[in-house]
Amino acid sequence: MQRVGTTGRTKALAVLAGGAALALVLSACTNDTKGSGANSPASKHDPLSSAGSTSAPASSASSSAPADPAVITTSARSNMSPATPVTVAIKHGKLTGVSLVNAAGRKVAGALSADNTSWHSTEVLGYSKTYRLTAQGVDDQGAPVTKSERVTTLTPDNMTMPYLVDLYGSSVENGGTYGIGMVVKVHFDESVNEAKAERALQVTTTPAVTGGWYWEDSQNAYWRPQSYFQPGTRVSVTAKVYGVEVGKGLYGQSDQHVSFKIGAKHISVANAKTHHVRVYFDNKLVRTMPTSMGQGGTVQGKNGTIYLWTMPGTYTVLGHENPATMSSDSYGLPANSPLGYAPEKVYWSTKISTDGIYLHELDTTVWAQGHQNVSHGCLNLNHDNAKWYYQHSQVGDVVKVIHSGGPALQFWQGGQWDVPWSQWLAHSALH
């Protein structure tokens, strides 16, 4: 294009000055410095001699380098994780279109950058799938360029599903409200590499709190804060395992996510010596309930020794059942044994341990409530108190049992809050 401009200027000189002007132009293009400088005779006497100064741009244009070719690069490869975005980039040009299409012809969603120099997929792919990637663009001169590649995703040897549950094994309700002692459990339906799996687990809170993971075994991880939650805290739990290898050849089947909030501060203290349960809401005593707790001692069951105390420790509310069906056989004591009992329906039952300790209605022990411990371990209440507690408690509320005999509440029974913080942290796979 620059050479065309020089040619046009030469024709203008010919029109204005004829052959003499053409001779001047030709002499200006030689290496003879006597005729090309500003002080040469031509520049002093020829009013058109200044035109000769344009010879430098013509020389520069003739030596300019060609434009760099456009180059398209992609992240496409075989055996990709389906959770890894496919990316496309162009150098020395602009992308005009990108498509990533599966075997059924469906286009995968993606996003082009504002400057049209890069693109990435915005939805996860499938396991064991093949996709055709086509990228089109133009170089800086407008010449088209195209690149087409194949993308294949990995095939897991096996997959595992994570479940976000409470200590009772019930799914955590998205948008639900829980007590200040809420503990979240992630249960994998296959044994995992704990360190790999923990890297895929995320908990965020507003406001921020200090918390950590505790692995009970290779399938179950628990998360709790160092201290009880503050009321109003927002909690978000994510198991981002899809496309992630969480064991040898074992990949996450699906991501899982849940968010919930912490409700009012509810703490109850059950005193085995005074035979009363004192209930505090936001540190204010709101109800005192006479109770009859575990009678103490032991009995031999089908699976070994059974303790008849209400184990001392820090429990949390695990669930509500109205009615709950209870029997001594459920914890290994045959119904026909001296202390056994057949299945029966028990109303207004609030469960606080995984092995079956409840606060529940039992009118047949009202005579002992507030005076004597006669139960197998549950906290017996009269109808009004059992119903009130059932209706006003929430999963995650704290229940402390004090001045009781027998061994301390164990982790497997729901005693997560009795684990010292340093010991809790030591059970993280990333500690």
Which positions are catalytic?
360, 378
Which amino acid appears at position 117 of this protein?
Answer: T
Which amino acid appears at position 273 of this protein?
Answer: K
User: CA 398, CA 419: separation in Å to the nearest integer?
Assistant: 15
> Are 75 and 98 spatial neighbours (Cβ–Cβ below 8 Å)?
no
- Give all strands of the β-sheet with 250-252 in edge-to-edge order: 158-160, 250-252, 245-247
Which residues lie below 8 Å from residue 40, measured CB to CB, with a gap of 6+? Answer: 34, 49
Q: Of 122, 125, 128, 131, nearest to 87 (Cα)?
A: 122
> Are 133 and 219 spatial neighbours (Cβ–Cβ below 8 Å)?
no
Pairing, β 276-281 against β 266-271: antiparallel
Owner of token pair 């329906």: 345
Q: Of 422, 409, 430, 397, nearest to 166 (Cα)?
A: 397
Q: Which long-range contacts (CB under 8 A, 24 or more apart) does 107-115 make?
A: 110/86
> Are 196 and 246 spatial neighbours (Cβ–Cβ below 8 Å)?
yes
**Residues comprising the chain, all counted:** 431
Residue 76 burial class via C-beta count within 10 angstroms: exposed 0-12, middle 13-18, buried 19 and up: buried
C-alpha distances in angstroms, 88 versus 114, 125, 311, 371? Answer: 14, 16, 61, 76
Q: Of 352, 368, 285, 263, nearest to 313 (Cα)?
A: 352
